[in-house]
Amino acid sequence: VEVVKGSGQILYGPMTVGGVINYVTPPIPERRGGSIALTGGNRDYVNAHARYGGTFNGVGLLVDAVRKQGEGSRDNTRSGLTDVNFKLQTALSTKQSLALKSNYYHEDSRVTYSGLRLDEYLAAPRANVFRNDAFDGQRLGLSGTHSAAVNPNLIVTTNLYYARFDRDWWRQSSNSAQRPNRIGTPGCTGMVDLFSTCGNEGRLREYQTWGFDPKARATHSWLGIRQETDFGFRGHFEVQNRIQANGNAPLARTGAIVEDNERKNQAWSGFLQNRFFVGKFTITPGVRIEHVRLQRTNRLFANGAGVFGNTTLTQVIPGIGVSYTPNSRFTFFTGLHRGFAPPRTEDLITNTGGFVELDPELSWNFEAGVRTRPTRNFTLDATFFRMDYQNQIIPASLAGGVGAVLTSAGATLHEGVEFSGRYDFRNVFGTGNSVYLRGAFTYLPVARFEGLRFSNVAGFANVRVTGNRLPYASGTLGNGILGFVHRKGINAFVEAVQTGRQYGDDLNTVNSTPDGQRGALPGNILWNATLNIPIESRRTTFFLTTKNLTNRTVIVDRVRGILPNAPRLIQAGFKLDF
């Protein structure tokens, strides 16, 4: 996983508010070989992972397959997924190469959408009565990347991609205020009829995305200043078909169609970023332009005649980053960039074709920090950040559950510091052994509504929330690891993961409401531990890991009712390289 923060986000989009996450697939090995890993644990957990690849007559190939299954964190929940990836890479000439990737993913899970009411949580925090809720999803992804060295100073890369995701989720409840979802329908008088005459709702989705993304990097000099220029553009297209079918039985897989929507997005963007290398300084200004067209069609409107609505938005996204490296031990950096995220189609265009005045999410993001390695044994990163939103988009009511639309929270401010570091104690308990401390900590004292702002919680529209803390914004996040590495490769560590208190609504309600959707999420510390034993002669590593070592139960979400964290998970297995 690659995380891009600061002004470097200008190369990507359109969601560039707090950071960009890029999932990087494993590289094709130069030599033929692979690995097999098998993990098992409590709650029926099984994870089998196989990988094989190499170069065959000048063509690099890699196949990667995973099968993972097990019970969830609540009763009557279970997931099973299969994920297969294929990668091919070949040189077309001395200056050109082609990479092809494909991915197939299938998930068949018994999982509900609804959280618990307060009385349900107090009686049995891991209970779930909606045993018939079922999720089935399939995804196919394809991409091709062509790279060409036009000359020693110019590299052009063009990426084409396509993905289709089909998802059917049949459920009898969508949040803790619905017990079950379709109470009042014939034969369904309440929870007593849940497994007999109460029906369900099928939320049937089909998503298709495709696009092209040519970009170039040029290295050159101007006025004696060495430079790197990145520029390119992208066309991105989405089609989403949404159907809701109301079934008349707990296990129904067909029903009356009550929603039939088509939503389309077209996004065109271009960017230019130039990196100046001036002595020990690197200065990187850039700009990106995003133009998005959103369309929505309600096929059921007016007895099937349908209705159509569309709108567009355009945004200029500038940014600049500066770093200073006086020596090999220190790098100081700072940056300022515009954050941008467009609203969703369904939040801009109503089901009757009307247009909602909802501005895009906009912010000015500033950071300044240092990366340092003052000694061979010690590394430290420290950053101050400030995210000043002119308009932040949040759910109209975080406790609204299904059907809750997004709304503008207006001006908000996030401000804090984050640290990460590691210290190694070498030659401990014998030559070649080491003990290390590794940790990260984020302190967010400011995360509040700014300006004149009133609550979006139903019944509290006249209550001013200016200055209140933003929902789900923890004041502290941290993790610390104490580890030991033996000279023969055996290593073990114990980890503490800390999360500060959060609020589930803009009123900053402390005590839980009866439906569980509002109230505080108490802070907590959870412990994990891991042991790895490599057997080099067998090219095998055995491992044992325990998550939530003390089996502590805490609340992790209230949006659709109370959800608990994962219970204690004990897993063991091995990885064999060949």
The string of DSSP letters for 232-283 reads EEEEEEEEEEEEEEEESSTT-S--EEEEEEEEEEEEEEEEEEEEEEETTEEE
pLDDT digit string (tens) for 205-252? 999 999 999 999 999 998 899 999 999 999 999 999 999 999 999 999
Q: How far apart are the C-alpha atoms of 116 and 105, rounded to whole Å?
A: 30
* Neighbour-count burial for 501-532, b at 16+ CB within 10 Å, e otherwise: ebbbbbbbbeebbebbbbbbbeebebbbebeb
Return the half-sphere exposure (C-beta side, CA atoms, 13 A cut-off) of residue 173: 23
The string of DSSP letters for 330-375 reads EEEEEEEEEEEEPPPHHHHB-TTS-B---PPEEEEEEEEEEEEEEE
pLDDT of residue 6: 75
Residue 295: both structure tokens together = 């369309």
pLDDT digit string (tens) for 476-520? 999 999 999 999 999 999 999 999 999 999 999 999 999 999 999
pLDDT digit string (tens) for 265-284? 999 999 999 999 999 999 99
pLDDT digit string (tens) for 308-332? 898 899 999 999 999 999 999 999 9
* pLDDT bracket for residue 23 (50, 70, 90): confident
Q: Of 166, 182, 159, give the one whose Cα is nearest residue 107.
A: 166
Q: Output the average pLDDT for the chain.
A: 92
With 80 as the cut, is the pLDDT of residue 255 above it? yes
Is residue 81 packed enough to be buried (19+ CB in 10 Å), middle (13-18) or exposed (0-12)? middle
* pLDDT bracket for residue 401 (50, 70, 90): very low
Is residue 31 packed enough to be buried (19+ CB in 10 Å), middle (13-18) or exposed (0-12)? exposed
Amino acid occupying residue 169: W
* pLDDT bracket for residue 405 (50, 70, 90): very low
pLDDT of residue 35: 97
Q: How far apart are the C-alpha atoms of 570 and 152, rounded to whole Å?
A: 53
Contact between 381 and 331 under an 8 Å Cβ cutoff? The reply is no
Compute φ and ψ for 347, nearest 5 degrees. -95, -15
Compute φ and ψ for 473, nearest 5 degrees. -115, 95
Q: Of 317, 370, 313, give the one whose Cα is nearest residue 342.
A: 313
Separation in Å, CA 236 to CA 106, 359, 494: 24, 21, 44
Residue 398: both structure tokens together = 């975080």
Which carries the bigger pLDDT value, residue 193 or residue 401?
A: 193
pLDDT of residue 407: 54
Residue 344: both structure tokens together = 């969703």
Beta strand 378-391 with 555-557 is: unpaired
The CA dihedral of 457, 462, 467, 472, to the nearest 10 degrees, is 0
Q: How far apart are the C-alpha atoms of 310 and 296, rounded to whole Å?
A: 6
Is residue 23 packed enough to be buried (19+ CB in 10 Å), middle (13-18) or exposed (0-12)? exposed
Q: Of 318, 324, 328, give the one whose Cα is nearest residue 369.
A: 324
Coil/strand/helix, residue 553: coil
pLDDT of residue 355: 63
Radius of gyration of the chain (CA): 26
Compute φ and ψ for 86, nearest 5 degrees. -135, 135
pLDDT digit string (tens) for 45-103? 999 999 999 999 999 999 999 999 999 999 999 999 999 999 999 999 999 999 999 99
Compute φ and ψ for 188, nearest 5 degrees. -110, 100
With 60 as the cut, is the pLDDT of residue 112 above it? yes
Let me know the angle formed at the C-alpha of 39 by 35 and 43, rounded to the nearest 5 degrees: 160
pLDDT of residue 396: 44
Separation in Å, CA 332 to CA 20, 150, 196, 343, 381: 21, 34, 65, 35, 10
Contact between 309 and 345 under an 8 Å Cβ cutoff? The reply is no
Beta strand 281-298 with 256-278 is: antiparallel
* pLDDT bracket for residue 393 (50, 70, 90): low
Across residues 381-410, what is the average pLDDT?
66
Q: How far apart are the C-alpha atoms of 244 and 70, rounded to whole Å?
A: 28
H/E stretch holding 543: strand 540-547
Coil/strand/helix, residue 195: coil
Look at the block and give the residue holding tokens 């189609």. 345
